[in-house]
Structure 1
Amino acid sequence: MTRRAALAPVRAAAALALIASVAVAVAACASEPAPPHPPPSAVPADYQLGGAYPPDPRVGIVARDRSAAPVDGVYSICYLNAFQTQPGERDEWPDDLVLRQDGADVMDPDWPDEALLDTRSDGARQAIAERVGEWIDGCAAAGYDAVEFDNLDTYTRSDDLLRADDNLALATLLVERAHRAGLAAGQKNAAEDAERLRAEAGFDFAVVEECAYYDECAAYTDVYGDAVVAIEYTDAIDRPFDDLCADPAMPASLVLRDRDLTTPGDADYAFEICPR
């Protein structure tokens, strides 16, 4: 038998093995969601947490609450209150997942109907991530492109009961779940933690409120570049909105809204985007 003939069965077996491995890889890829992508750069945005409505035709990014449907043909961000309870939903959370002190829930001082979640143990973080994970999967099934996780910074208003590292650990679980669902993950506020949240938790972009008013926009743009959606409010801007739009230090996707994020037709409704 020649050397070539002797190698033929080996090569045949190797070829079959290669074909099998390729088939497995193709099947795996077919079952995995497309890799998530952050919001498009420098595109006008609208922030519609107070109620869904048809966006201005110039708008290319819209954020809505998880209870609302996304906008067809527009990059859509699904809002999740992931580190404290949503108003009216406290009873849906077991007591062992809610931060408590002296037998009472620890509430957000600015949102007294929202209780902080307890991120201090790995077991609690896993349980919280599983519950929020169901919302994440729901956002993906509805057709959203991304999720934003609000109240990452609950440790700053927890009477020192919570630690930044514990919230970061939960954030990492949530980002991983979002990515498995094919959704980009957005950091919400928490300017002081932006670098760690991007590097360690894996966030893809940021959604920020009042970074101009608090002079912290650079904390986000230095980390995320143009992948920052910024919201300013009419009751807390210290210069004309046109001036903000002309300021190169401002995020490119900048929108001015009324504080309660009302819908068109409401007396308090306000919406402005930067001219393009």
Structure 2
Amino acid sequence: MSRHASPLVRRRAAAAGLAVGVVAALGAGFAFTSASAGVGPQHRAAGDRPQAGAHRSAPPRAGAPTPSARPSAEAGTSGTARGALGSSAGPSGAPSGTASARAGAAAAGAGHQVTLPAPGAGFDYQIGGPYTPPPGVAAVSRDRTAPAAAGMYNICYVNAFQAQPDATDWWQQNHPDLLLRDSGGDPVVDQDWHEALLDVSTADKRTRLAAIVGGWIDDCAAKGYQAVEPDNLDSYDRSGGRLSKSSNAAFAELLADRAHGAGLAIGQKNTTAMLDQRTAVGFDFAVAEECGRYGECGAFASAYGNRVFVIEYRAADFDKACDEWRGRLSVVLRDRDVRPAGTSGYVYRRC
């Protein structure tokens, strides 16, 4: 997610398009495939941007905070649909660490295949509400409560490190000790988005939180998504020193294991400060909000072999990103509230 002076938004689209092909197997039965074509936006901004890489954006999301019953997979996510996503295999061209031994071992037992997005795929960021993707789009990012889009490379948005504003009471009633608290015992809240931070400071709490968020990830897989983007990776920056970069990375690693075990790729959401942790965590691609505005697209592109979905919220930044990255990265312009098509204020353009 991202935190650049802007209102609110939180949802993402990832696209992928043409012939699929199995690439390389990691461990027994675990392979990465790649897709081609696609772009999409998402975000959530407010206040002055704190520091490079600490992006954070996304709109309030509907739905209960507890994992819902796993529905049957949506149409368009069968082997045929996945086959239409891409045609490279193995970690070739993928970021270092993508095909980590840990991820391979985790998925090997279940025989799952993780499909990577194709660099430069036509993309749409729909975390504010699902709608029919525009022509040319092959990848979309949608909130975990929304159905996957038929025939697309689908990225599932999950608020993994913070509680949605309408979910705070649920956490208070069911898992009060999993909310990060200040010295007075009150939840530590991200003031920009009115979201209580989840407490990932200890191994025990990370394990318990991973069981809850992991249920949401499993639900994404059951709905037919190909990937997941856990938001607020940079919550440690808003914790008043109660959380650390290493604690957040450790929790992200648990989520990566869960995603890979469910057959999903996992994307790093913003936070250039965490790029050095990508191999240890097991991230496969990136979703970078306003990297054009802040000159960070190159860092993400280098780390993830151009498998980067870029969302800009200002026309000038979008034009700048397109001039530099057209055809290599998936770049889109969205309105800051990431409104669904057909609603007032909706904005969507892609390079």
Q: Distance in 2 between matches of 1:243 and 1:79?
A: 26
Q: Which residue of 2 aligns with 1:3?
A: none
Query: Normalising by the residue count of structure 2, what TM-score does the alignment of the two structures yield?
Result: 0.66
> Runs in 1 of length 4+ with deviation above 4 angstroms?
none
Q: Distance in 2 between matches of 1:188 and 1:130?
A: 20
Report if the CA contact (8 A) 1:244-1:250 is conserved: no
Q: Distance in 1 between matches of 2:125 and 2:255?
A: 22
Judged with a 3 Å threshold, the aligned counterparts in structure 2 of structure 1 residues 78 and 240 are, in CA distance, closer, same or farther, namely: closer
1:111 and 2:193 are equivalent in the alignment: yes
Tell me which of 117, 134, 146 is aligned to 1:39.
117
By how many angstroms is 1:37 displaced? 2.0
Q: Which residue of 1 aligns with 2:133?
A: 55
1:270 and 2:347 are equivalent in the alignment: yes
1:69 and 2:151 are equivalent in the alignment: no
Q: Distance in 2 between matches of 1:54 and 1:176?
A: 31
Q: Distance in 2 between matches of 1:240 and 1:177?
A: 35
Q: Distance in 2 between matches of 1:264 and 1:86?
A: 24
1:189 and 2:270 are equivalent in the alignment: yes
Q: Distance in 2 between matches of 1:201 and 1:144?
A: 21
Judged with a 3 Å threshold, the aligned counterparts in structure 2 of structure 1 residues 169 and 250 are, in CA distance, closer, same or farther, namely: farther
Tell me which of 291, 294, 303 is aligned to 1:214.
294
Q: Which residue of 1 aligns with 2:204?
A: 123
The SS at the match of 1:272 is strand
Judged with a 3 Å threshold, the aligned counterparts in structure 2 of structure 1 residues 208 and 248 are, in CA distance, closer, same or farther, namely: closer
Q: Distance in 2 between matches of 1:254 and 1:137?
A: 28
Report if the CA contact (8 A) 1:116-1:154 is conserved: yes
Query: Normalising by the residue count of structure 1, what TM-score does the alignment of the two structures yield?
Result: 0.84
Q: Which residue of 2 aligns with 1:79?
A: 157
By how many angstroms is 1:191 displaced? 1.1
Q: Which residue of 2 aligns with 1:145?
A: 226
By how many angstroms is 1:108 displaced? 0.7
Q: Distance in 2 between matches of 1:137 and 1:153?
A: 23
Q: Which residue of 1 aligns with 2:260?
A: 179
Task: Provide structure 2 residue ranges, at least 5 long, that are not aligned to the other structure.
Answer: 1-27, 30-106
Q: Distance in 2 between matches of 1:175 and 1:204?
A: 9
Q: Distance in 2 between matches of 1:56 and 1:255?
A: 12
Q: Distance in 2 between matches of 1:109 and 1:146?
A: 29
Q: Which deviates the most, 30-39 or 251-260?
A: 30-39
Q: Distance in 1 between matches of 2:328 and 2:206?
A: 32
Taking every aligned residue pair, what percent have the same amino acid on both sides? 48
Q: Distance in 2 between matches of 1:191 and 1:30?
A: 30
By how many angstroms is 1:103 displaced? 1.6
Q: Distance in 2 between matches of 1:226 and 1:36?
A: 18
Report if the CA contact (8 A) 1:169-1:201 is conserved: yes
Q: Deviations over 1:190-241 (max 9, x none)?
A: 1111121x2110100111111111111122111002111110013xx5x263
Task: Provide structure 1 residue ranges, at least 5 long, that are not aligned to the other structure.
Answer: 1-24
Q: Distance in 2 between matches of 1:130 and 1:38?
A: 24
Report if the CA contact (8 A) 1:194-1:223 is conserved: yes
By how many angstroms is 1:34 displaced? 2.9
Amino acid at match of 1:88: D
1:223 and 2:303 are equivalent in the alignment: yes
- 1 or 2 for the larger relative contact order (CA 8 Å, sep ≥6)? 2
By how many angstroms is 1:31 displaced? 7.3
Report if the CA contact (8 A) 2:318-2:331 is conserved: no
The SS at the match of 1:125 is helix
Q: CA RMSD in A?
A: 1.9
Larger Rg computed on CA atoms: 1
The SS at the match of 1:96 is helix
